[in-house]
Amino acid sequence: MARSKSRSGSSRRSAAAEVAEVEVVSEESGMGFEAGLAIITTVILLAAVLMVDYDRGANYGEGMLFKDKYAANASSASE
């Protein structure tokens, strides 16, 4: 039977001891997904609040910003 080559245990230890330095490079360019999603959500929520307020002002004479739209719609409809 042929003899197998003996492996030296010191080669594994020296390879593990020598750790190569790795430079971490951030490749972020621009806005991230989470920031974009937060901005889009905010814009859509603001648009929804304005649409509901306009509807309440135009049809019921209530609301924060469009109260006077009801009187304008009512007077133009009666003419």
Kindly report the pTM of this predicted structure: 0.55
Please write the tens of the pLDDT for every residue from 44-56: 999 999 999 999 9
What's the confidence (pLDDT) of residue 72?
73
d(CA 63, CA 69): 10
At 43 the pLDDT is: 98
Give the integer Cα–Cα distance in Å for 59 and 68: 10
